[in-house]
A and B are shown apart, each in its own frame.
Chain A
Amino acid sequence: MELTLAMAIGMAIGAIVLAMLNQQIAFLQIFRAQSFLNEEAPLVSSHVSKLLMNAERFRLHASLSEALAGQNATLAESPVLVLNYRQPDGTIRAGILSFEEGPQGEGLYYYVVPADGVLVEPEWAVTTRPTNVAFFVNSGVIRCRLTGPAGEEIIFSGAMQ
């Protein structure tokens, strides 16, 4: 009887300890799964929204080389977006947002197209956390959908003036 009781209490203590461990692991998993939207997305939103809002016009391309060459522009979902900005002197300068395998791994990179048209390293790595980034057009509004590592989705939009 005593042995049974001792074993039962021992098993109960073990179960409680395991439950607490499981709870902590689940908590950490939830915490980590939320980190993209909580920590990364606000910064991405700040950068991308400003870039989209201030652009004069845009083009969508399937690849960086096509974007540089200005070929095969499309309205379908694309990983590369060319944005044109008017400079204070009235000239137009292009920037490119591209989701690609860059110097810091797969991520969303921003290039400033130089005057000679030859791209070198990206100016910024906006984010390397999302698993996919797609640009598309809805009602004339350019939209950017980021898919996070835990399947979360967040969409930023910008209007051309």
Chain B
Amino acid sequence: MKRLGPSHELITDNLPLLVRLQIALLKGDLLAEFFKPLFHRLGRCFRIGVMDGHFIKSSVKEFSLDCGGEGVWQEAALRLDTNHPQTGLFARDENTEVERMFRGPSDQFLRRITPAESKGRLDNLLGAQLGCCEAKEYRGNGKHGLAAWIGGRDAHERSLVRSGDFRKQRRTNKGFALVEATMAMALLSITGLLLLTLSLNVIQPRQYSLQQILSDSYLTFERAQAERIPFGTLLAGDSPWPVSPTVSNETVEIGKLPGGRAVTGVVTRTRTRDANNLAANGGVGVGTLATNPASMEIWRVQSILRYEISGRTYVKSRTVVRAQ
């Protein structure tokens, strides 16, 4: 109990006194209906009152009997102090701008209720649970005085109906949460597909370059062998490089990819004579002692490597010129 002046007492902390006064304000047939929302919401009556951006009452100290939106008004009525500027009902016409946050900020953050639930109603100059028409009527009652508002049955009936409206609104928000979740899922799926595409775009050229390196390194062997092989062996009947257009094919392992997967290709080998070779050295009759006085025998030794990447066939060749 807090003493404000010599003739007025403000009761804010004594619950039995508050209940008793509230009962006196209600008509008999509304008494039972009054206690339904009272007990239903007694556990969540901690609230924050905000008026035009200013806190007018601590959420802890203001202990409302029903969290239905008229807490400030009732407090003003309980004071029965109509001359006090903070009673609100007579001093201000804009009581409907009082916003009530029925859950804590943490509840809004966790989407138990959406911020729009209270803000939208604030924008409409409504209390948290009042409908549009109700707000207008309340505004009218506020102008007509305390007695009209307290004694009117309609005012209390509206107060009781509000709890149902609140539950209905929550159900709608749940549905909206599902839509949000579905949109998030679709967004995640699209993002995943985009990332997968980007990853493939990065990996695919690297896969190509891997095979290029392996094939290049293998062709160093073909080149070295063509340079190293004795001339007699090169010209023999069982030469690894038969005379064109005859070719010899051999499947070779050109290396291993990460994971140990072997990469294979087909090597086609052949050799072609120089046009200026003498006929005795496999020439075609073009070369004569006049054009080739040193009797040089020249062969182009060619190795062609064919391999596949992702269904595409790639061909590389190395040619070595052997002469004696």
Residues in B whose Cβ lies below 8 Å from that of A2: 174-175, 178
Interface string of A147-160 (1 = CB under 8 A from B): 01011111111111
Task: Tell whether A75 is near chain B: CB-to-CB under 8 Å.
Answer: no
Task: Tell whether A105 is near chain B: CB-to-CB under 8 Å.
Answer: no
Residues in A whose Cβ lies below 8 Å from that of B189: 16
Q: Which of B175, B182, B202, B258 contacts A9 (CB 8 A)?
A: B182
Task: Tell whether B231 is near chain A: CB-to-CB under 8 Å.
Answer: no
A17 to B187, CA, bound (A): 11
B258–A34 touching, CB < 8 Å: yes
A137 to B: closest C-beta gap in Å: 11
B320 to A: closest C-beta gap in Å: 10
Q: DSSP majority for the B interface? A: helix
B284 to A: closest C-beta gap in Å: 30
Task: Tell whether A68 is near chain B: CB-to-CB under 8 Å.
Answer: no
Known contacts being A16-B188, A38-B210, is A157 close to B177, with CB within 8 Å?
no
Task: Tell whether A61 is near chain B: CB-to-CB under 8 Å.
Answer: no
Closest to A17 in B: B188
B213–A37 touching, CB < 8 Å: yes
Interface string of B229-273 (1 = CB under 8 A from A): 100000000000000000000000001111110000000000000
B228–A140 touching, CB < 8 Å: yes
In residues 159-218 of chain B, which contact A (Cβ within 8 Å)?
174-175, 177-178, 181-182, 184-185, 188-189, 191-192, 195-196, 199, 202-203, 206-207, 209-210, 213-214, 216-218
B185–A38 touching, CB < 8 Å: no
B259–A16 touching, CB < 8 Å: no
Known contacts being A10-B181, A16-B192, A19-B192, is A154 close to B255, with CB within 8 Å?
yes
Closest to A19 in B: B192
Task: Tell whether B227 is near chain A: CB-to-CB under 8 Å.
Answer: yes
A155–B218 touching, CB < 8 Å: yes
A13–B181 touching, CB < 8 Å: yes
Task: Tell whether B221 is near chain A: CB-to-CB under 8 Å.
Answer: yes
Q: Which of A22-30, A79-87, A94-102, A117-125 contacts B (4 or more CB under 8 A)?
A: A22-30
How many residues of B sit at the interface, in one of the four size bands?
Answer: 35 or more
Residues in B whose Cβ lies below 8 Å from that of A9: 178, 181-182, 185
A45–B217 touching, CB < 8 Å: yes
Residues in B whose Cβ lies below 8 Å from that of A151: 256, 258-260
Known contacts being A154-B255, A160-B228, is A20 close to B221, with CB within 8 Å?
no
Known contacts being A13-B185, A34-B206, A37-B210, is A159 close to B217, with CB within 8 Å?
no
Known contacts being A17-B188, A151-B256, A155-B221, is A141 close to B181, with CB within 8 Å?
no
Closest to A147 in B: B256
Q: Which of A10, A20, A53 contacts B191 (CB 8 A)?
A: A20
In residues 103-161 of chain A, which contact B (Cβ within 8 Å)?
138-141, 143, 148, 150-161
A156 to B77, CA, bound (A): 97
Residues in A whose Cβ lies below 8 Å from that of B291: none
Interface string of B105-144 (1 = CB under 8 A from A): 0000000000000000000000000000000000000000
Residues in B whose Cβ lies below 8 Å from that of A20: 188, 191-192, 195
Interface string of A22-49 (1 = CB under 8 A from B): 0110010011011011100110010001
B255–A152 touching, CB < 8 Å: yes
A136 to B: closest C-beta gap in Å: 12
Task: Tell whether A12 is near chain B: CB-to-CB under 8 Å.
Answer: yes
Can you list 8 A-B pairs with a CB-CB distance of less than 8 A?
A27-B202, A31-B202, A41-B213, A141-B221, A154-B256, A155-B221, A157-B217, A159-B225
Give A contacts to B, CB under 8 Å: 2, 5-6, 9-10, 12-13, 16-17, 19-20, 23-24, 27, 30-31, 33-34, 36-38, 41-42, 45, 49, 52-53, 138-141, 143, 148, 150-161
Beyond contacts A13-B188, A31-B202, A52-B224: 9 other A-B pairs, Cβ-Cβ < 8 A, are A9-B181, A16-B188, A20-B195, A31-B206, A34-B210, A45-B213, A150-B258, A151-B259, A152-B260
Give B contacts to A, CB under 8 Å: 174-175, 177-178, 181-182, 184-185, 188-189, 191-192, 195-196, 199, 202-203, 206-207, 209-210, 213-214, 216-218, 220-221, 223-225, 227-229, 255-260
